[in-house]
Amino acid sequence: MDDFDNLITGYRRFRTGRFTQQNALYKRLADLGQSPRVMVIACCDSRADPALIFDTAPGEIFVVRNVANLVPPYSPSDKFHGTSAALEFGVTGLEVSHILVLGHARCGGIEASLSRQEDGSFIGRWVSILDETRQSIDPTTSHEKQCVSLELAGIGQSLKNLVTFPFVAERVAAGTLSLHGGYFDIATGMLNMRDPENGMFAEIK
């Protein structure tokens, strides 16, 4: 059985298991639509799935995933803006009350930023969002420490970029929208949350 066959097998387990057990919930979501109160901006890394980390039910969180869980600065143009479009829908359409930027350890996108990938690739262009942030990382420390430092600093940068969007800034100022930063360690399963006052991360117990 190859990897794609495994997906189909998993689908069959879902249909006879979880879907059957939660059939009323799925029907309600289909009939009434979604109304999640929390939006999560996460990395597309296959090891850091927000729905699994937070043990959520279908319809509970609105998730956008991209390389290195980055939020670009507000920059209206005629280009394609996938993350910005999802953010706009989550805030102005679904009217979420919370946005969590969820980073994680051992992030390949952060590795790409540290290696200064400037080869004209989509990834290189995307992680250039962190170019200025990367300058604050101590180059005399080990590569592992630099990665962790940039993973954490990148979360802070994305939170700063969030408030460059007028529809986000307005709701934050009005007290109807709260912004959060989180960091998940794949190896230990530990979640650390960012203190909005001092930018420090503390483990959730």
Predicted model pTM: 0.95
Task: Name the helix (H) or strand (E) containing 121.
Answer: none
CATH 3.40.1050.10 positions along the chain are 35-203
* Beta-bridge mates of residue 62: 39
Does the CA dihedral 149-155-158-159 come out positive or negative?
negative
Q: What is the tens place of the pLDDT at every residue in 8-56? A: 999 999 999 999 999 999 999 999 999 999 999 999 999 999 999 999 9
CATH number for the domain running over 35-203 = 3.40.1050.10
- Kindly state the DSSP code that residue 135 receives in the 8-state scheme: T
Contacts of 74 by beta carbon, 8 Å cutoff, 6+ apart: 84, 161, 164, 165, 166
Instruction: Say whether pLDDT at 180 is over 70.
Output: yes
User: What is the rounded average pLDDT for all residues in the chain?
Assistant: 96
